[in-house]
Amino acid sequence: MTDSIAFIREKVQGATPSIGLILGSGFNEFPDSNFEETLTVPYRDIPGFPQSTVPSHKGNLVLGRMGDNPVICMQGRLHKYEGYSMKEVISTVRVMAELGIKILIVTNASGAINTNFDAGDLMLITDHVNFMGDNPLIGPVEEGCLRYPDMTQAYDQELISKAEVAAESKGIKIRKGVYVANPGPSFETPAEIRAYASMGIDAVGMSTVPEVILARSYGIRVLGISLISNKAARLCGQLLTAEEVNETAAAAQGKITGLLTELLKSL
C-alpha cells in the first residue's frame, strides 16, 4: 500500500488526518454535505487501492475537515464476502494508520438479535465476537503493529460516552450492545440467531471486526456505530432482503447525520 499512502499524503498537503471514518451501509451519504474543504477521490484513482463492489457503497475516499479536525473518510468498505483476503479487507485501515489517525469510527448496518431493538435504531458497539473464521493479524508482524494486542477495551469508553452525549443533545435514542461478525454474504439461519441470543449478542453483521482488530494493534482508539436495519432471522416474521437494509438506511439519514455531526464536533 506504499503507493496509496504516498498518493493520499500528497493530496492532504500536510493536513494530517486525526480521525478516520469507515462508512458502511446506511452511512455513505454523510460527508457529501457535512464536510468542509472536501476533496473526493474515487478508489479506482488511488494507486494500489482495492475497489468496493457493494452497490450501496460509493467507493470514494473523502478528505475534509469537521471543525478543527482533519478527517479521512471511506465511503464504502471492503468485505471478505467480496472475495478479498483478510489482508486486503484491512489494508485501507493500514493506510489510514500510516497517515497518522488517532481515532477510528467504524459504522455498519446490522440485524437486531436483541428483541428490544427496532429497525432504524442506532447502536454503539460495546464489544464484539469474531465469527469470521479469520484474523487480520495472522502472518508476519507489520511495522507499527503489536503482535498480541489486548482487546479488553476494543471500543473506547470515552468515545462511547461522547457519542451518548451527542445523541442526547440531538434527541436521538441510542442503544448499546455486543456485535457479532460473520463472513457473509448469506443472512443467518434462525438456529444461528438463537445461538447468538443465548450468548448475549445484540446485533449481527458481516464487517467491522477486522478493521477494529487492526486499529487496536496500532493503538488507535475505536468507536463503533451500527444502524439496526432489520430484525434478524426468526424475529422479523418475513424473509430478509438487502433492499430492506437500504430502505431503513434511507429513513434513518437524519439521525445518522445528527449523531455524527455532533460527535465529530466534540472530538
Percentage of residues in the chain having pLDDT higher than 90: 57
* pLDDT of 238: 58
Domain count, the chain: 1
Tell me what the pLDDT averaged over the chain comes to. Answer: 89
The SS3 assignment for 142 reads coil
Amino acid in position 240? L
Over the stretch 238-257, which tens digit does the pLDDT of each residue have? 566 667 777 787 788 889 99
Which residue range(s) make up the domain with 149?
A: 2-266
Nearest to 179 by CA among 89, 110, 116, 244: 110
- Give the Å distances, CA to CA, from 36 to 17, 64, 76, 203, 252: 13, 6, 20, 33, 23
CATH number of the structural domain spanning residue 240: 3.40.50.1580
Sign (positive or negative) of CA dihedral 79, 122, 246, 202: positive
pTM of the predicted model as reported, rounded to 2 decimal places: 0.93
Q: Considering only 13-27, 105-119, 213-227, which range has the smallest mean pLDDT? A: 13-27
Cα–Cα–Cα angle for 111, 137, 185, nearest 5°?
A: 30
Tens digit of each residue's pLDDT (9 = 90 or more) over 94-137: 999 999 999 999 999 999 999 999 989 999 999 999 999 999 99
pLDDT at 115: 93
Comparing 80 with 33, the larger pLDDT belongs to 80
Say how many Å lie between the first and final Cα of the chain, rounded. 28
Alpha-carbon distance values, 80 to 53, 180, 209, 260 (Å): 11, 15, 11, 26
The three three-digit cell numbers of residue 188, written as one number? 443467518
Distance of CA 229 to the CA centre of its chain: 14
Average pLDDT (30-35) is 80
Per-residue model confidence (pLDDT) at position 229: 87
